[in-house]
Structure 1
Amino acid sequence: MMNVNFAVTAACVLGLLYFGREVLQPVVAALVLSLAIAPLIRTAGRFGLSRMSATFGALGLVVVVFAAAFSVLGANVLALTSELPRYSAEIRAKSKSLQEMTQHPLARLAPQLLEGTPATTNHETSVRPLPVEIHERASTSDAIAKAIGVVSGPLGEAFLVLVLLVFILLDRENLRDRVLRLVGQREVSRAIKGLEDAAEGVSRFFFAQLVLNVMFGVVIGIALWLIGIPHAALWGAICAALRFVPYIGALIAGAAIALFAAAVEPGWMLAAYALVLFLILELLVAHVVEPRVYGHSVGMSALAVIVSALFWGAIWGPLGLLLSTPLTLCIVVAGRYIKGLEPISILLAEAPDTNDAQRFHHRVLSGDADAILEDARAFLRKSTLARYCDKVLLPGMSLASSDLLGSQEQRLRATVAMVADTLAAGHSSSRSRRRRISMLNESIGAHLRHRREERLGRWQGSLDVPARSVILSTAMPGVREEFMSELLVLVFREARLDARSFVLKQDESNADSAPDAGQLISTAFIAYPVESELPAWTAAVTELRAALPDVPLATIRPHDSMAEELSQVAKHVDLVLQSCEEALAFVAPGRSG
C-alpha cells in the first residue's frame, strides 16, 4: 500500500512540474535569484541601510550591471552578424577540405569515373523544367509584429521574474512565517534550521558560483582577445553563462569557441590555441579553484549533478538546465530536515549521511579492505590510532558483529585482521606488503600476537630495558578480549611506547616468565570481561595482582558492556577507563591528542 501511495504521489508531482511549468518556472527562477542576491542584500544592510533600501539598492546594482553587460554584448552581436557571411564561407571551405581528407579513396574514384560517361541524348532527360517558386513579399507591419513577438516573450518573462523577485525579497520574513505555520509547531525547530541553512549556506554557494563564473568569463575573454580572436567579450560572456549548465555547458562553450576560431583564419593554429587555452583555464577552475571556493559544507555528488541536469532539462527545457543544480541543491538541503525528502538527500548529497563507524561497518561486511585502509590513512593523517580505534574501529566492529549472516563472520575476521596487521606494520605501508590472511585456526588477537612474536621474539622485545618502562596488556582467552588487548598494544606502540601482550592461563609455556621481569613493568592492563565468566576473570586478576603487587592495574570498559558488571569489575582493578585515548593519556600524558 505504501508503494502504491508513493507511486501516486511521485506521478502527481511529476505531472504538476511538467504541466504547470508555465507558472512554476518564473516563481522558481525568482526564488533561486533571491537566494543568490541575499548575500549582497546582507552586505548592504551592514552599512546601516534599511531592509527596503538594501533590497532595492542590491536589485538596482544587479539591473545596472546586467543592462551594461547586455548593451556591450548587443553591440558585439550586431558586429558579429555583419561578419557572418565571411565566417560562414571559411567554415564551409574547411568542412569541404576535411570531408575530402577523410573520404575513402574509392569514394573519390566514383565521381571521376562518372565524369567520363557520355551524356544521354534523350531530350526528355536532358531538358528539365525549372521549378517555379512564389515568394510573398512581407509587409512592414508583419515584420514589426514578428519582431515584437520575438522580443516580448523573453522580455515579458524577465519582467515577470523581476516583479516576483522584488516581492519575495521584500516579503521574505512573512513568507518564512507562513512556511513555519504550514509545518506546524512540532517541527518548527527543524524547519527554522532548514530555512537558515538554505538562506546562509545555499545562498553563499549560489553567490560564489555567480562571481566565479563571471570572473571566468572575464579571464577567458581577455585571453581570447590577446591571441587575436574578434568579439572576445561576447565569447567570454557566453562562457560565463554556459558554465551555469553543469558539465554540458563547458563542453558547448569550448566547442563554440574552437569553431569560431576556425572561421576567423584560414589555418588551424588559432583554433588549436583557443581550444588549448580554454581547456587549461577550465581544468584549473574546475579542479583547483572551485573546490577551494565552494568547500564541502553544501554540495551534491558528481553523478547527482548529471542526473539532475537530465531530469530538469527534460521537464523544463533550457531553463531547467540552468536551474538544475540550485534546485536539486535546495532539495538536498531540505532533505536533511524534512523526513519525506530524506531519501533524495541521501541519494544525491555529496557525502552520504553516515559516520566513519557506519562506513567501516558497511565495508567490512563486504570485505573491502582497500577502502577501509584508505579511510584509515586519511583519518590517521589528522589524528591518532587511539582515536581511530575509539571512533571507527571498535564501534564499526560492534555494528558488524550484530549484523552477520553466514560466511560474513569469516570475512569480518579476515578483513579486520588484515587491517589491524597493516596498521601494526605502520599505517603508511603500501598495499604490496599486505597478504591474504586465513582466520580458520586462530582469532584476530592471536594472529596479531604471533606476528609480533615472529618479528620481535618470544618476549616481543628485548628484556634489557630500563625498569618500569614496559606496558603489559593482558587478556583472558577469548576472541574479543584478546583482540582488545592486542589493539591496545598497537595504540601504545604507535605512540612509541614499549607495550607487550600476554594471555592469562593460555598454557603452561606462558606461565614462566623471565627473571625479575616484573621489575620492568610500569602499568598493566587487563581486557574487560566480555566473553569470559566473571569468577574466572576475578581469579585471574587476583593472580596477576600477586605477581605484580606494585604495578597499577587498569581496564577499558567497552561501550556495549552491562552497567551491573561495572561495580564488580571496579573492585578488582585500580582504574576503569572509557577509551583507548584515556588509556594513552594515563600512561603517557600529552600524547593522546
Structure 2
Amino acid sequence: MVAESDGSATRLLGIAAALVVVLAGMKAAEEFLVPLALACFLAVLAAPAVIWLQSRRVPEMGAVLVVVVMMGGLMGGIVALVGGSINAFADAVPRYQARLDELFSSAVDLAEAQGLSLGMLRDAIQPGAAIGLAGRAVGQFASVLSNAALVMLTVVFILFEVTVIPAKLRLALGDPDADLGRFTKVVDEVNAYVVIKTYVSAATGIVAGVFVAVVGVDFPILWGLFAFLFNYVPNIGSIMAAIPPVLLALIQFGPGEAAVVAGGYTAINLVAGNVVEPRLMGNKLGLSTLIIFLSLLFWGWLWGPIGMLLSVPLTMIVKIMMEHSSQFRAVAVLMGGPPKSD
C-alpha cells in the first residue's frame, strides 16, 4: 500500500514537473505559438467551408484557394479600415494619458478643497494606464497583422490536411476502424462555439462602432473592432472593450457624453450577452463560469490579449480531451457546467 502511494506521488510530481516545463516553453515561444494558435483558430473556422465546397465537387486546391482568398480579402479589408486608426491612436496615446491624468488630478484637487483627503487615492490610481493598456493591445494586434502572411500560409497548409487527418489518425493509432469520436467532438464543439461567437461579435462590433461614431468619439472604426475582438473574451471582454471609448469621450466632451457611451455599451452588451448569445449557443460551451474566468486569467498571462481571445476554445479542447481519459475524466467533470437535473 505504501509503495503504491509512493508511486502515485512520484507520478503526480512527474506530471507537475512536466507541466511546468511545458508552460515555461509555451511562454518563451510566445512569438511563434501565438500566430500558430491563431492560424489553427482560423482553420477550424474555415474547414467546414472547404469540406462543403469539396462535397460540391470543387477540387481540393480550388476549395482551399477560394476560402483562403475570401479570408485574405476580409483581413485585407480590416487592415485597410483600421490601419490608419491604429497608427493615429498609437501616436495620440501619450497625449490622451496626460489629459486623463490631468482631469483626474483636477477632480482630486476639487474634492480636497471640499475637505476630503484623497492623497492616497491620487497615488494609488493612474487612470491614464487604461489608455496605455489599450495602446498595448492595439500594438499586439498590429504585430499579429504584420504576421498575417505567415498566419495565412499556415492556414493554407492546415486546410490541405483537413480531409486526410482522419485517415492519418487511424494510421497513427494502428487501428483502421478506430473511433475518432473525441477528435470529432473537439472540432464540432469548438467550431460551433467559434461560428456563433463570431456572428454575435460581428453584430456587437458593428453596432458599437456606429454608436460611438454617432456620439462623435474619435476612432469609431477602431472601437468597433475592439468590441468585435473583445467579445470573444469571456466575462470581462465587454468591459475591456468599453473602457477606452468611455475614457476618450470623457477627454473629448466631458462626463455627460462619457456616461452616454457607458450606457450605450451596457445596453449593447446586455442584449448581445444575455439575450442573443444564450439563445443561439444554448449549452454548447460546457464549461463552468469559474473555469471560464480562470482560463481567461491563465491564457491572458501566458499569451497576452490574443491568449484571452482564444482562452475559451483552448480550454474546451483541454476539457474534451480529458473527458476521454480515464485518469482525468473527473477533472473534466469538475470543469463542466452544472449537472443536468433529471
Indicate whether the TM-score tops 0.5: yes
Deviation at 1:340, TM superposition (A): 3.9
Structure 2 distance, partners of 1:104, 1:293, is 53
Q: Tell me the TM-score normalised to structure 2 length.
A: 0.80
Say which SS state the counterpart of residue 310 (structure 2) adopts: helix
Structure 2 distance, partners of 1:12, 1:78, is 42
Compared CA separation, residues 6 and 160, structure 1 to 2 (3 A): farther
Find the counterpart in structure 2 of residue 180 from structure 1: 170
Deviation at 1:223, TM superposition (A): 1.3
Deviation at 1:240, TM superposition (A): 1.1
Find the counterpart in structure 2 of residue 124 from structure 1: none
Deviation at 1:41, TM superposition (A): 2.7
Q: Does 1:218 align with 2:206?
A: yes
Do 2:50 and 2:159's aligned partners in 1 also have CA atoms closer than 8 Å? no
Q: Does 1:334 align with 2:321?
A: yes
Deviation at 1:74, TM superposition (A): 1.5
1:217-296 aligned at under 5 Å gives the runs 217-265=205-253, 267-296=254-283
Structure 1 distance, partners of 2:324, 2:176, is 13
Structure 2 distance, partners of 1:98, 1:246, is 33
Alignment deviations for residues 109-138 of structure 1 (CA, whole Å, 9 cap, x no partner): xxxxxxxxxxxxxxxxxxxxxxxxxxxxxx
Deviation at 1:176, TM superposition (A): 3.2
Match of 1:17 among 12, 18, 23: 23
Deviation at 1:93, TM superposition (A): 4.3
Structure 2 distance, partners of 1:153, 1:275, is 29
Compared CA separation, residues 307 and 79, structure 1 to 2 (3 A): closer
Deviation at 1:103, TM superposition (A): 2.5
Q: Does 1:314 align with 2:301?
A: yes
Q: Tell me the TM-score normalised to structure 1 length.
A: 0.48
Compared CA separation, residues 14 and 104, structure 1 to 2 (3 A): farther
Do 1:39 and 1:204's aligned partners in 2 also have CA atoms closer than 8 Å? no
- For 2:291, the aligned partner's letter is A
Match of 1:76 among 69, 85, 101: 85
1:557-576 aligned at under 5 Å gives the runs none
Deviation at 1:80, TM superposition (A): 4.4
- For 1:175, the aligned partner's letter is I
Say which SS state the counterpart of residue 171 (structure 1) adopts: helix
* Gaps in structure 1 of 5+ consecutive residues: 109-149, 357-391, 393-593
Compared CA separation, residues 46 and 255, structure 1 to 2 (3 A): same
Find the counterpart in structure 1 of residue 37 from structure 2: 28
Deviation at 1:59, TM superposition (A): 1.6
Do 2:47 and 2:162's aligned partners in 1 also have CA atoms closer than 8 Å? no
Alignment deviations for residues 285-305 of structure 1 (CA, whole Å, 9 cap, x no partner): 111111111121343111110
Structure 1 distance, partners of 2:178, 2:142, is 43
Match of 2:190 among 194, 202, 223: 202
Larger RCO, structure (CA 8 Å, separation 6 or more): 2
Q: Does 1:99 align with 2:112?
A: no
Structure 1 distance, partners of 2:208, 2:220, is 8
Alignment deviations for residues 42-67 of structure 1 (CA, whole Å, 9 cap, x no partner): 44445542333222211211111111
Compared CA separation, residues 308 and 235, structure 1 to 2 (3 A): same
Compared CA separation, residues 335 and 248, structure 1 to 2 (3 A): same
Deviation at 1:83, TM superposition (A): 6.2
1:423-462 aligned at under 5 Å gives the runs none
Structure 1 distance, partners of 2:265, 2:113, is 33
Q: Does 1:347 align with 2:337?
A: no
Task: Say how many residue pairs are matched.
Answer: 312
Compared CA separation, residues 339 and 50, structure 1 to 2 (3 A): farther
Compared CA separation, residues 156 and 317, structure 1 to 2 (3 A): same
1:398-417 aligned at under 5 Å gives the runs none
Of the two, which has the highest radius of gyration?
A: 1
Do 2:234 and 2:292's aligned partners in 1 also have CA atoms closer than 8 Å? yes
Structure 2 distance, partners of 1:89, 1:72, is 27
Structure 2 distance, partners of 1:324, 1:97, is 39
Deviation at 1:104, TM superposition (A): 6.2
1:535-550 aligned at under 5 Å gives the runs none
Do 1:18 and 1:316's aligned partners in 2 also have CA atoms closer than 8 Å? no
Structure 1 distance, partners of 2:142, 2:249, is 33
Deviation at 1:105, TM superposition (A): 4.9
Find the counterpart in structure 1 of residue 127 from structure 2: none
Do 1:36 and 1:206's aligned partners in 2 also have CA atoms closer than 8 Å? yes
Alignment deviations for residues 350-409 of structure 1 (CA, whole Å, 9 cap, x no partner): 244xx65xxxxxxxxxxxxxxxxxxxxxxxxxxxxxxxxxxx6xxxxxxxxxxxxxxxxx
Do 1:224 and 1:232's aligned partners in 2 also have CA atoms closer than 8 Å? yes
Deviation at 1:222, TM superposition (A): 0.9
Do 1:332 and 1:348's aligned partners in 2 also have CA atoms closer than 8 Å? yes
Deviation at 1:187, TM superposition (A): 8.8
Deviation at 1:85, TM superposition (A): 7.7
Do 1:194 and 1:333's aligned partners in 2 also have CA atoms closer than 8 Å? yes
Do 2:218 and 2:248's aligned partners in 1 also have CA atoms closer than 8 Å? no
Q: Does 1:160 align with 2:147?
A: no
Q: Does 1:7 align with 2:13?
A: yes
Q: Tell me the percent identity.
A: 23
Structure 2 distance, partners of 1:64, 1:182, is 36
Q: Does 1:323 align with 2:310?
A: yes
Say which SS state the counterpart of residue 239 (structure 1) adopts: helix
Higher helix proportion (structure 1 or 2): 2
Q: Does 1:60 align with 2:48?
A: no
Compared CA separation, residues 99 and 270, structure 1 to 2 (3 A): same
Superposed CA RMSD = 3.1
Structure 2 distance, partners of 1:98, 1:290, is 39
Structure 1 distance, partners of 2:101, 2:193, is 43
Structure 2 distance, partners of 1:268, 1:40, is 47
- For 2:292, the aligned partner's letter is V
Deviation at 1:87, TM superposition (A): 4.9
Structure 2 distance, partners of 1:39, 1:280, is 33
Higher strand proportion (structure 1 or 2): 1
Compared CA separation, residues 107 and 151, structure 1 to 2 (3 A): closer
Structure 2 distance, partners of 1:214, 1:30, is 19
